[in-house]
Amino acid sequence: MKPLASYAADPAKTRGRKIQEPAPEGRNEFQRDRDRIIHSTAFRRLEYKTQVFVNHEGDLFRTRLTHSIEVAQIGRSIARNLGLHEDLVEAIALAHDLGHTPFGHAGQDALNACMHEFGGFEHNLQSLRVVELLEQRYAEFDGLNLTFEVREGILKHCSLQNARQLGDVGERFLDKSQPSLEAQVANLADEIAYNNHDVDDGLRSGLISLNQLAAVELFSRHLDEVRNRYPDIGERKLVHETVRRMINALVQDLCRQSGDNIAAANPESVDDVRRSAPLIAFSPDMQRQQRELKQFLRANLYRHYRVNRMSSKAQRIIRELFAVFMEDITLMPDEFQLRAQSDKPRAVADYIAGMTDRYAIREYRRLFTVEEQPL
Ligand code: MG
């Protein structure tokens, strides 16, 4: 563990909030942001939103809530190793998926297609929209009024066209500068978390097998090590021992390589970090192994026919909900009808994006069926 580095983000030197507020007492600015995120409605809804598997398919799979907590845990370990600000990484990690639609990537793709003529839908931008506008909790402002550093970290990527409209957090996409190291850490912690938990969930669901995964270097290396050391180990423990070694190897590699990058670039401040190349990175060899694992998951899990069936059903639900609300906004709750008066498609997208998987399914039943029927 290192003390806080000179290039770490400093809550006392934040670029601030859109609406000025008195400094918090007994906690720093980033802790306050984290606390606001945890108390938000969108955060609680993550429990019933999924990544790959639809929420009602099983209780053991990751949801966006447990995913976000895993990202925060991995991100904090890395931050502490590199002398970066843990609270900032944690706040970004917990907020990074707040804008996700129901039904994971399938839901996002469907909503984006529905919004094609109206500026599109992008979950990253939506996460920002949730914390800047949609959360309605505070008397003096809409949204959560978070610090610039947390909002910047939430916006991982965006088009130049959108960047021009986003003000302060859009600047770095226009002038090609980097976000804080804490934002870079949260971004890669996200990758480490989902690659590993998708392996675990994929095996647990039976959609992929140990034999298939044995062809993936990053996995097989650790699988062999566990098997050699514990020849009689049961399968559940074998998987867990392998996955935890993979996470550990990725985190250690990231810390080592990033430490070297930081030493070589020798930044003295966050401003130096912004002007340099991205410094948080895996080694080239680990990048190659990560890519191999990702390709495996794409080919064998994300495009598995049983996943395709869930996705197709999910996309149908989103498309039909979008169409019915566009046709008649009075079917939406008052708050969204009000928003629809200034921008109907965006209000419909906001309403749908805020739904949990099971809420979207119930809403679909309420609107399209006379009797309750299993979907
Ligand atoms: Mg994520």
Spacing, Cα 194 to ligand 1 middle (Å):
7
Q: What is the pLDDT of residues 165-180, one digit of tens each?
A: 999 999 999 999 999 9
Q: Which residues of 123-150 are buried (b: 16+ CB within 10 A; e: fewer)?
A: bbbbbbbbbbebbeeeeebebbbbbbbb
Residue ranges of the domains in the chain?
26-204+295-308
Spacing, Cα 60 to ligand 1 middle (Å):
18
Residue with tokens 């180990």: 233
Q: Does position 52 have pLDDT exceeding 90, yes or no? A: no
pLDDT band at 326 (very low <50, low <70, confident <90, very high): very high
Spacing, Cα 179 to ligand 1 middle (Å):
18
pTM for the full model? 0.95
Spacing, Cα 337 to ligand 1 middle (Å):
30
Gyration radius from the chain CA atoms: 21
Spacing, Cα 208 to ligand 1 middle (Å):
21
Q: Does position 298 have pLDDT exceeding 60, yes or no? A: yes
What is the reported pLDDT for 80? Answer: 97
Angstrom distance (rounded) from CA 212 to CA 202 = 11
Span 274-289, mean pLDDT? 97
Residue 114, class by beta-carbon neighbours within 10 Å (0-12 exposed, 13-18 middle, 19+ buried)?
A: buried
Q: What is the pLDDT of residues 178-236, one digit of tens each?
A: 999 999 999 999 999 999 999 999 998 899 999 999 999 999 999 999 999 999 999 99
Q: What is the pLDDT of residues 8-39, one digit of tens each?
A: 999 999 999 999 999 999 999 999 999 999 99
DSSP letter for 63, please: B
Spacing, Cα 236 to ligand 1 middle (Å):
25
Q: What is the pLDDT of residues 62-116, one digit of tens each?
A: 889 999 999 999 999 999 999 999 999 999 999 999 999 999 889 999 999 999 9
Spacing, Cα 47 to ligand 1 middle (Å):
13
Q: Does position 58 have pLDDT exceeding 90, yes or no? A: no
Spacing, Cα 182 to ligand 1 middle (Å):
15
Which CATH entry fits the domain spanning 26-204+295-308: 3.40.190.10, 1.10.3210.10, 3.20.20.220, 3.40.30.10? 1.10.3210.10
Spacing, Cα 233 to ligand 1 middle (Å):
32
Spacing, Cα 11 to ligand 1 middle (Å):
24
Average pLDDT of every residue of the chain:
94
What is the reported pLDDT for 61? Answer: 76
Please give the structure tokens belonging to residue 364: 């679909």
Spacing, Cα 67 to ligand 1 middle (Å):
7
Angstrom distance (rounded) from CA 21 to CA 7 = 25
Higher per-residue confidence, 52 vs 56: 52
Spacing, Cα 171 to ligand 1 middle (Å):
23
| Cα 200-354-197 angle, rounded to 5 deg | 10
